[in-house]
C-alpha cells in the first residue's frame, strides 16, 4: 500500500492512460523538465544573490573594522599649499573627545544654518546623533602649529603600516565624516559631512580631501562615493558637480519627481554601480 502511494506520488504523469497519446506525454515530459530547470535556475540565482550579499557584507565589515583608514595613504596625511599647512588624523564617532564634538557642532552651525534655513533646528538634532554613532568615521583636519615640514617624522602604527605624523598639530580647521554602508545593495562610502572653516576654504583643501575619500573608497572595494547636498548650497553643488564631476544619482528625490531641498550625488567605480546609481 505504501509502495503504491509513493510511486503514485513520485511519477503519476509517466503512467500512460488509454486517452494519452505519445505527443501529450512528450509535452508533459518537456514541461516537467522546464519546471525543473526554472526551479534550478531560481535556486542558482538565489544562491548567487546570497553569495554576493555575503561578499558585500564582508567588504563593509572589513572596511568598518579598519582602525585607521589614513594609514594606507601616508602622502595624503598632510596638505601644504596656498599658504595653508594642515595634517590629518582619523577618528571614530563614539571616541570623539568632548572638545572635538563641540568644535564639530559649532562648525556645522556656522556653515550649514544658512543653507538649511528653517529646517536647521530639526537637522541639527539629527546631526548631533549622527556625529557620535560608532560607524561614523572621521578625518580630522588640524592646522600644523609648526609648519616646518622637516619636523614631519615617519612612525609605525599598531598594524606596522608606516605613516607620517606631525608631532605638533595645532587647532582643528575642518573635518570629514564618512561611513561604509549599503546603498541599493551596493557597498558604498557615504560622505555625511565635509566641513571647512571659511578661513581655509578655496585653497584646494576640499578637493584634496575628496580625492583621499575616493582613494579610501576604492582601497576598501566600495562601488561608489555618495553624498547629500542642500540645493541652496550653490557653492558646494558647483564644487561637487563642476569641479569633482559628481552626478545627481538616480536615487535622488528630484530624479523620482519628488520635490526636496537636497540632491543625492554620486561617483561610481563599477559598471554595476553606474547602472544602478546613475542610469536607472
Enumerate binding residues for ligand COA (CB under 6 A): 111, 194-196, 201-207, 227, 229, 233, 235-236, 239, 243
Q: Which three cell numbers stand for residue 266?
A: 554620486
Please report how many Cα atoms fall inside a 13 Å half-sphere around the Cα of residue 107, on the Cβ side.
25
At its nearest, how many Å lie between ligand COA and the CB of residue 107?
A: 8
At its nearest, how many Å lie between ligand COA and the CB of residue 242?
A: 8
Would you say 71 or 108 has its CB closer to ligand COA? 108
Q: What residue number has its CB nearest to ligand COA? A: 206
At its nearest, how many Å lie between ligand COA and the CB of residue 152?
A: 22
Would you say 162 or 202 has its CB closer to ligand COA? 202
Would you say 71 or 115 has its CB closer to ligand COA? 115
Q: Quick one: three-class SS letters along the chain?
A: CHHHHHHHHHCHHHCCCCCCCHHHHHHHHHHHHHHHHHHHHHHHHHHHHHHHHHHHHHHHHHHHHCCCHHHHCHHHCEEEECCEEEEEEEEEHHHCCHHHHHHHHHHHHHHHHHHHHHHHHHHHHHHHHHHCCCCCEEEEEEEECCCCHHHCEEEECCCCCEEEECCCEEEEEEEEEEEEEEECCEEEEEEEEEEECHHHCCCCHHHHHHHHHHHHHHHCCCCEEEEEEECCCHHHHHHHHHHCCCEECCCCHHHHCCCCCEEEEEEECCHHHHHHHHHC
Q: Which three cell numbers stand for residue 144?
A: 600644523
Would you say 96 or 227 has its CB closer to ligand COA? 227
Would you say 25 or 253 has its CB closer to ligand COA? 253
Would you say 209 or 222 has its CB closer to ligand COA? 209
Distance of CA 111 to the CA centre of its chain: 23
Would you say 71 or 210 has its CB closer to ligand COA? 210
At its nearest, how many Å lie between ligand COA and the CB of residue 136?
A: 15
At its nearest, how many Å lie between ligand COA and the CB of residue 215?
A: 16
Q: Are 175 and 142 in contact (CB under 8 A)?
A: no
CB count, 10 Å around CB of 126? 10
At its nearest, how many Å lie between ligand COA and the CB of residue 176?
A: 9
At its nearest, how many Å lie between ligand COA and the CB of residue 87?
A: 16
Would you say 132 or 241 has its CB closer to ligand COA? 241
At its nearest, how many Å lie between ligand COA and the CB of residue 241?
A: 11
Amino acid at each position: 500500500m505504501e509502495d503504491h502511494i509513493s510511486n503514485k506520488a513520485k511519477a503519476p504523469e509517466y503512467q500512460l492512460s488509454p486517452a494519452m497519446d505519445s505527443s501529450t506525454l512528450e509535452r508533459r515530459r518537456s514541461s516537467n523538465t522546464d519546471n525543473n530547470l526554472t526551479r534550478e535556475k531560481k535556486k542558482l540565482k538565489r544562491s548567487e544573490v546570497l553569495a554576493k550579499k555575503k561578499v558585500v557584507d564582508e567588504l563593509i565589515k572589513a572596511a568598518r573594522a579598519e582602525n585607521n583608514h589614513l594609514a594606507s595613504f601616508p602622502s595624503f596625511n598632510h596638505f601644504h599649499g596656498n599658504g595653508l599647512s594642515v595634517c590629518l588624523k582619523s577618528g571614530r564617532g563614539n571616541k570623539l573627545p568632548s572638545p572635538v564634538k563641540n568644535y564639530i557642532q559649532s562648525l556645522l552651525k556656522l556653515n550649514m544654518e544658512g543653507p538649511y534655513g528653517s529646517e536647521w533646528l530639526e537637522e541639527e538634532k539629527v546631526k548631533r546623533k549622527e556625529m557620535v554613532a560608532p560607524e561614523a568615521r572621521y578625518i580630522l583636519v588640524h592646522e600644523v602649529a609648526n609648519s616646518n615640514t622637516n619636523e614631519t617624522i615617519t612612525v609605525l602604527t599598531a598594524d606596522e603600516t608606516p605613516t607620517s605624523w606631525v608631532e605638533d598639530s595645532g587647532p582643528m580647521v575642518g573635518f570629514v565624516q564618512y561611513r561604509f554602508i549599503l546603498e541599493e545593495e551596493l557597498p558604498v562610502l557615504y560622505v555625511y559631512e565635509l566641513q571647512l572653516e571659511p578661513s581655509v576654504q578655496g585653497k584646494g583643501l576640499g578637493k584634496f580631501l575628496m580625492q583621499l575619500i575616493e582613494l579610501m573608497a576604492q582601497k576598501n572595494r566600495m562601488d561608489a562615493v555618495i553624498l547629500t547636498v542642500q540645493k541652496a548650497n550653490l557653492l558646494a553643488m558647483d564644487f561637487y558637480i563642476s569641479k569633482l564631476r559628481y552626478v545627481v544619482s538616480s536615487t535622488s528625490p528630484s530624479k523620482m519627481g519628488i520635490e526636496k531641498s537636497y540632491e543625492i550625488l554620486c561617483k561610481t567605480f563599477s559598471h554595476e554601480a553606474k547602472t544602478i546609481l546613475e542610469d536607472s
